[in-house]
Structure 1
């Protein structure tokens, strides 16, 4: 159980009561409120119960039906969500997730995290999130197109480049964004390029957007280690997942001289002591849409594939959980610490359980929460919005250069805030307070809205 300052306990009680049955949202709210105890003590002007309660309450929650027809000519029904959480800093900004686990509590937790993540970037974007319990696995391109079009038929009335700008997330890549953008364009009879980010390069997308979340996570790890007088070079690294975030985190870790020895998918994980062959992973996952067991078969005796068990038992110096929420448990944290891990950075959103996070912090392991470490994706989405607004297209190098600067600034903000509040090296506290203060200052300026 996290320690919540006594003045903030009534707010937590209200949040828990008002959002019953939403454990992921409860977890995210508890973590932020725990950090705010130091703010309340040091800067009483921020102790405004109504303000903090408003920050924990979405401005708007939209739930809708999505009917569509599958290839067998059967009508299917899914549920869609968009939670527009906070627009004090700018239009709502956050991804769309297609996964069977999606429900309103998951989307609210993601939207709440997005508010502070977006604030940390220093860019003028608010926080939101959306998605559906639709499962794209095993569906044909035509089925996915029909679903995306039906999804957008309802969503289009709630979004716009000055209102709410969705992007991709789990289960939603450039293909899905393209189908949604096409339907939005048809429904609104205008080419509003900035309404969605993560688009293809041929119709307003940004170079480096696909790589941005993974690259940004690696940049944040590099800054953490540099702060300690060391580097990624020569370090063993384990990465969970094998989607966009994991693949490009691995690519940048390797570019920085690290050695990635393991990654995973929903079926199991691979251990390749010679270092993961990233070109092969990309071919299997991005082209063939296959499983990592295929990687092991093609690599032969140099690689082990494990269908059961935890990837976090593989010894490493740096651990990057890049798959999904609450994937890394306290038992996994104990194993990582026992095996000498020095840094953990969340490439996914809240992939470590609260007990695991607490153990890392107590053990002195450098720990980067998702709202700081994986902010590179939304930061580059905001850069895509800039390009769309100016009818411009930047080079990959220019975009990555901006990304690197933003991630460095996020690290400095978290690090300096933690130092200011008497907890040097505590990136969880630093990220939560730095994000909160920026949002709270804007909300106070706008009045009671």
Structure 2
């Protein structure tokens, strides 16, 4: 067996109870085999064995009191995976599905994603199995304050700078930052995605979705094409999905479907994103409420239960922005049968390994999440730069920088794929381009 295979097999044994982490590690490590063939010096320092192990894992209890006075206890996590190129950077996810496997897979992917931005930020991730849905503002505040009271010990502006993720929006970031500030007595940039009133950046809300479309636009451009007239399906209806849909429409596409866990809305004439924004960002409602915005005479949309069925719809471009493993073998085969030409991942690992293989085997342009959804963390790094210099750039300036970063990411993963003999394989290109920078930094810093 090869060096990479040996490391992967050992990793599987040590982490047998962590399927999401093993899935991510398998996809990444398998694609790095040609790197270790070209750079045998990496093997001599045990670089890969060190790379796959987090530098630090923190697990802690989070006690809080609900509105009825009952004591609740959740579990909190922070995985600080790799700081070779900069302070740990990665979101906090509050969702009932959160466990160590999911946090480790997200943190492992984050190393490469952050490296691809070209900025000096390392990889980390965190969160809790706390679910903000159905909780009052007061309950969310009490949970966030308890969570930050412990997390405070492990983060800082030059150590680890978390951000939001699923279940952690502007409300949660505000409560978390307020508690950090209360303990530290200093106004640090220790959480990105902050409100504009206390140091946040313009475009941060839109960044992941916009960046997703910018990298897809570049892939289209390199093939003599554009978004004009394309039919687009966007799964999900959270932050990433909403702003990916918005930007795609700005570029001339028609977004025909969006979803949440209850099902999806479909309109051949195009979804009206402002209504989805109001439902999700203001009302915190469900996607089927979209139909309530139209009279019977004007209603052309329909709601279909079962969000997985959104991939039954024919389209030109698929943007999976909901959650991990939402596109399985059957869904991938439907995408191929319907003649979809581009699949760009807005969520983290939304395609199973089998689905990825089907998509690539059939020649679709497939841009993986570690490259395609890097716009969020890239803009977080831009926010860090603005806050450290006490500046606030205009929307247009941040948006322009974001677009340049996403174009550069496409060019770097395309170049890496070609250099190693895997033209148009952007999974391998992303993994190699992101890994090389981190690997060289680790080599320079010795056995640590």
Q: CA deviation at 1:227?
A: 1.4
> Is the 8 Å Cα contact of residues 203 and 398 (structure 2) preserved in structure 1?
yes
Q: Give ranges in structure 2 of 5+ residues lacking alignment.
A: none
- Give the 3-state SS of the residue equivalent to 2:206 in structure 1: helix
**Which SS does the other structure have where 2:53 is aligned?**
coil
Q: Out of 107, 110, 113, which is 2:109 matched to?
A: 113
Task: Give the superposition deviation at 1:45.
Answer: 2.9
Aligned pairs for 1:104-253 (under 5 A) are: 104-192=100-188, 194-253=189-248
User: Which runs of structure 2 are paired with 1:345-360 in the superposition (5 Å)?
Assistant: 345-360=344-359
Contact 1:284/1:292 (8 A) holds in 2: yes
Q: Matches of 2:324 and 2:45 in 1, distance apart?
A: 29
Decide which of 65, 71, 75 is 1:75's aligned counterpart: 71
TM-score normalised by the chain length of structure 2? 0.98
2:34 partner SS? helix
With over 3 angstroms needed to count, the CA separation of the structure-2 counterparts of 1:49 and 1:333, relative to structure 1, is farther
Aligned to 2:301: 303
Within a 5 Å distance, the mapping from 1:237-386 to structure 2 comes to 237-299=232-294, 300=296, 301-308=299-306, 310-386=309-385
CA distance in 2 between counterparts of 1:77 and 1:214 reads: 33
Q: How does 1:434-449 map to 2 (within 5 A)?
A: 434-449=433-448
CA contact (8 A) 1:39 1:46 kept: no
Residues in 2 aligned to 1:55 and 1:232: alpha-carbon distance in whole angstroms: 38
Q: How many residues align?
A: 444
Q: CA deviation at 1:256?
A: 1.0
What is the TM-score normalised by the length of structure 1? Answer: 0.98
Distance across 2 between alignment mates of 1:337 and 1:35: 23
Deviation at 1:183, TM superposition (A): 0.3
Cα RMSD after superposing both structures: 1.0
Q: Deviations over 1:413-436 (max 9, x none)?
A: 000110111111111010000011
Instruction: Give, in whole Å, the separation in 1 of the partners of 2:38 and 2:363.
Output: 25
Does the 8 A contact of 1:11 with 1:49 survive in 2? no
**Deviation for aligned residue 1:190:** 1.2
State yes or no: 1:391 paired with 2:390: yes
Which residues of structure 1 form unaligned runs of 5+? none
Match of 1:59?
Answer: 55
Q: Aligned partners of 1:74, 1:287: CA distance in 2, in Å?
A: 28
Q: What is the match of residue 14 of structure 2?
A: 18
The SS at the match of 1:130 is strand
Q: How many angstroms does 1:292 deviate by?
A: 1.1
Superposed displacement of residue 363, structure 1: 0.4
Residue 48 (structure 1) shift: 4.2
Compute the displacement of 1:377 (Å): 0.1
**Would the aligned equivalents of 2:5 and 2:30 in 1 still touch at CA under 8 Å?**
no
Distance 1:55 1:47 in 2: 12
Q: State whether residues 116 and 434 of structure 2, in contact with CA within 8 Å, keep that contact through their aligned partners in structure 1.
A: yes
